[in-house]
Structure 1
């Protein structure tokens, strides 16, 4: 089936009477309640559950193998190929399935706050609450923009349509398939709304570098002097928490592009992990969860409908989706200048990486390519406790192109704009997971604040004798002994054993980057 045929099939769906296009937030909330898809919380947010799938399904994600893109894609366990024939058959089945539904919901908007690099998109949903999610997460058009809106990419999400692997060529009932030639994402068999958001991010990670723009899995904010900071890290490492700073304006919490003019948010909303959320520790996020916001898998008191953010009964991966305008201190539109400071966030389950260290250019490139962290419980199906993992560029699941493509672009940006780069461990200290404790948020905030304010630019450091990292000897607001991991462990020999174990994992993982420059390999990684 060619793209014209697909377009005709799609148009026939969109012209049906069961399709509601661009409903307002109140209208969508009414639909959610009427259809029993969710309930209202005490603050007026919609709360929905996602059933079996409470996280992404990376093993069920595919890219269609097409002539125009197949030579560019880095195929493998992340970017799994699937045939055009399989896609086309599933596409027809999903379209026909949606035609039979009582209601279908469509959102039209954009990805990319910089109008020079915007991607017009439309999201077609079986569920009203998924359409509300899309409305809040992507960039919403003005009435004038809507009149001239022509979608260049379409996401079709039908959670209750389940594939038959034997007939449909998938691995399970779930599928997330991207076709760059057909400019379509097809999602079925999963109610987890994050698949919608991350599919568009994957698309931007393909399109933006082709236009000379670095796409990044990071949060971003800007200080009073116009100084921009980026926070790279996987889910649960603190991107959203640390970028929501009362003293800095938020640009975005998860996805950005870095163009010749500066940084811009790819999204129009935030998707915050909210397990153990409290007003005291994260007031901006806590207070953003109000009417129009969407909670996923958060347990509520049945009578008061007050959210219990400490309850992880359904999943540790509880989420809150809200428009960026729900945060008081933002940049609107979400566009700013070039970054002064770049922070790599990692949640080290081994408990051996320093809570903060200054990176040389070579170390920055090494740790960006490595993307070390711990996969936290609930972020993906089957993960119930933290696991050490390496996710290239802190976003491997969403990168269609070879990792070195993104890394080289970042290296050029660091050189061009003289950005200072830091590695910050928001994970464990005083021992590995199960023995030590999670780094105190107040300490992490103090360290990040010092880095952003330039207080660490010329501070005295000591070189870690295993990882070769430059550790500041003093950071305001942080006990000196916390800064050096080997001083936080009760058993020094146990620390060295665990640190060398992680060091070996870094070296083994980096072997796959055979085309990386020698100075990055030799000067960027562990020294023991």
Structure 2
């Protein structure tokens, strides 16, 4: 039996080893093994048990002399010793003995000049299907000449850690050894951990080795002009929806690199949320849920096999993974030119940020580092009013290096290429959540279109002294009265109080998390009320 060299990982005597099976073959294997069922659209549907999302408390980086001084240690980047890592890795390898093992040898990085080879070794056929669809699938010729991978991932959800004996926090562990080029994931079946382990690896390697800025963003391209745009934003801000414009080509929905030649997708697939998915609002994602895709934790009628996308009884974080070519307007390979526009998306539930504002270089670096959005009242127990969320670089859990390093790289690129940067509020207008109304999608699309086609370059701007941004006073196909948020509030005093409160939250967050940032970046953020 061909083992494809997994003995090097300590996996001796595997029952059967499969390498780079097709999506159909992996779906068949998952059904044979009882890992999931088929929906009426042909998608493979699984439930992931107690872990229905990422487990940040269980993520570790191996602390070695070679990486110690460059890692931004803290809550998101917790150290673990090489000895503990190796011990758990040995146990996982032993666990995989006498079992079926599924290998995917693929690539991350659509630009051949910067691609990295990843070998993913899975216990579950369904997880192997997921990563087969999410990464870049090699051709037969590429696979025949694949050679050694740059990084290897071992994923064994069935192996449960003993927190006391293994020196971790729970039965799950997600551990990255950057020096050994090895990742171990165990105790959790949530497939997103594999995807984000790849991303976390590239976020370390790309800046240090290639001078590539890694970005947690979506990206698209105008097929007529070739102009590209990138969209940063936390969950719920519209990153996927706004980049998936049917008039534009989708480069990718989540992870990209920015080189001197342009931008490129790290992935070969998409991992979209399914909660409240509507066929009319998001037809591309709806249509991608078909044979070959993997659906996680979406409730399905056991008889008709029809989905209930509104049912969040398993989790609100319902997901589907599919290859990007399931999207009709996908740009393949996922490579584009230098971004003409960078968009930071925020869903401001306080209702005080302008619907769109222009940022200079320093302000762009400030808001990139800050990564602001707001949780809605009622989304979590005890949340009775909007709550700010600040996620460094719009992807704090996946960024192992110091925030200033990534911010400086962005600033250099903005200056070098004269890239325009806009802060876009997809949240509330006319009052906070519960009083005002959500910004209409067609208005947001119109504002972004005006930013992309250059219309906003010639608009009249007014400086917002509190939030320290420049606000266009008009935009085609957008009512002028919504451009300045204070004008949309019936109670101006309430607006002033809420705006000052949020500006203070910005300042407090920045002072606490980034006290050593350059003064010019600190000064580019919201100011105290005069």
TM-score by length of 2: 0.93
Q: Report the alpha carbon displacement of residue 321 of structure 1 after superposing the two structures with TM.
A: 1.0
Deviates more, 1:447-456 or 1:165-174: 447-456
CA deviations on 1:360-402 (whole Å, 9 max, x unpaired) are 2221111111111135899999999974221111111111110
Q: Partner of 2:307 in structure 1?
A: 307
How far apart are the structure 1 equivalents of 2:379 and 2:200? Answer: 17
Residue 85 of structure 2 corresponds to: 87
Report the equivalent of 2:214: 215
- The aligned counterpart of 1:241 is 241
Is it true that 1:147 corresponds to 2:144 in the alignment? yes
CA contact 1:109–1:121 (8 Å) conserved in 2: yes
Aligned counterparts of 2:268 and 2:256: Cα–Cα separation in 1:
11
Instruction: Tell me the distance in 2 between the aligned counterparts of 1:45 and 1:384.
Output: 38
Indicate conservation of the 8 Å contact 2:507/2:525, yes or no.
no
Shift of 1:497: 1.7
Equivalent residues in 2 for 1:255-404 (5 A)? 255-374=255-374, 387-404=387-404
Asked if the contact 2:110–2:333 (Cα under 8 Å) also holds between the matched residues in 1, the reply is: yes
CA contact (8 A) 2:377 2:433 kept: no
Partners of 2:477 and 2:269 lie apart in 1 by 32
* Distance (whole Å) between structure 1 residues aligned to residue 92 and residue 382 of structure 2: 27
SS at match of 2:340: strand
1:470 correspondence with 2:470:
yes
Alignment correspondent of 2:31: 33
Measured in 1, the distance between the counterparts of 2:378 and 2:270 equals 19
Q: How far apart in 1 are the matches of 2:380 and 2:149?
A: 30
Alpha-carbon distance between aligned partners in 1 of 2:489 and 2:15, rounded to the nearest angstrom:
65
Tell me what 1:421 maps to.
Answer: 421
- Counterpart among 122, 125, 128 of residue 128 in structure 1: 125
Cα distance change on mapping 1:8 and 1:106 into 2, 3 Å = closer
Counterpart of 2:466 in 1: which secondary structure?
coil
Pairing partner for 1:52 from 50, 53, 64: 50
Q: Name which of 191, 194, 203 aligns with 1:193.
A: 191
The structural deviation recorded for 1:95 is 0.8
Asked if the contact 1:375–1:388 (Cα under 8 Å) also holds between the matched residues in 2, the reply is yes
Equivalent residue, structure 2, for 1:164: 162
After TM superposition, give the deviation of residue 338 of structure 1 in Å: 0.4
Contact 2:13 2:98 in 1 (8 A): no
Provide the C-alpha distance between the structure 2 equivalents of 1:87 and 1:380, rounded to a whole number of angstroms: 34
Residue 126 to residue 490, structure 1, CA distance change in 2 (3 Å): farther
Give the Å deviation of 1:161: 1.4
1:3 — aligned with what?
none
- Distance of 2:324 and 2:12 partners within structure 1: 29
CA deviation after TM superposition for structure 1 residue 156, in Å = 1.1
SS of match in other structure, 2:388 = strand
Comparing 48-57 with 437-446, which one deviates more in the overlay?
Answer: 437-446
SS at match of 2:523: helix
Shift of 1:463: 2.4
Q: Secondary structure at the match of 2:456?
A: coil
SS in 2 for 1:72: coil
Q: Distance in 1 between matches of 2:163 and 2:377?
A: 27
Q: Distance in 2 between the 1:381 and 1:206 partners?
A: 35
Task: Mark the CA change 1:195 to 1:30 in structure 2 (over 3 Å): closer, same or farther.
Answer: same
Secondary structure of 1:348 counterpart = coil
Q: CA deviation at 1:80?
A: 0.3
Structure 1, unpaired ranges of 5+: 1-6
Output the CA distance in 2 between the equivalents of 1:267 and 1:97: 29
Quick one: structure 1 residues 450 and 14, their matched pair in 2 at CA, closer, same or farther if it must change by over 3 Å? farther
Q: Distance in 2 between matches of 1:24 and 1:330?
A: 21
Matched, 1:119 2:116: yes
Change in 2 beyond 3 A, CA 1:89/1:151: same
- SS state of the match for residue 299, structure 1? coil
TM-superposition CA deviations, 1:306-344 (whole Å, max 9, x none): 222222222221112111111111221111110000000
| Deviations 1:156-178, CA, capped at 9 Å, x for gaps | 11112111111110011111100
The alignment covers a number of residue pairs equal to 521
Residue in 1 aligned with 2:431?
431
* Between 253-262 and 472-481, the greater mean CA deviation after superposition: 472-481
Once residues 301 and 481 of structure 2 are traced to their aligned partners in structure 1, the CA distance between those partners, rounded to angstroms, is 42
SS in 1 for 2:113: helix
Relative to structure 1, the CA distance from residue 197 to residue 16 in structure 2 (aligned partners, 3 Å threshold; closer, same or farther) is same
The 8 Å contact of residues 324 and 330 in structure 2, kept in 1 or not, is answered as yes
Partner of 1:107: 104
1:277-324 CA-partner distances (Å, limit 9, x unpaired): 222112222222221111111122333222222222222211121111
d(CA) in 1 for partners of 2:520, 2:345: 23
Q: Which runs of 5+ in 2 are unaligned?
A: none
- Separation (CA, whole Å) in 1 of partners of 2:297 and 2:427: 24
- 8 A Cα contact 1:357 1:471, kept in partner: yes
Per the alignment, residue 405 of structure 1 pairs with: 405
Residue 523 of structure 1 aligns to a residue whose secondary structure is: coil
CA distance in 2, matches of 1:212, 1:94: 34
Query: How many Å separate the matches in 2 of 1:355 and 1:434?
Result: 18
Q: Distance in 2 between matches of 1:351 and 1:302?
A: 42
Task: Tell me, yes or no, if structure 1 residue 440 matches structure 2 residue 440.
Answer: yes
What is the CA–CA distance in structure 2 between the aligned matches of 1:362 and 1:72, rounded to whole Å?
Answer: 24
CA 376–402 in structure 1, closer or farther in 2 if over 3 Å, else same:
farther
3-state SS, counterpart of residue 364 of structure 1: helix
Q: Which residue of 2 aligns with 1:4?
A: none
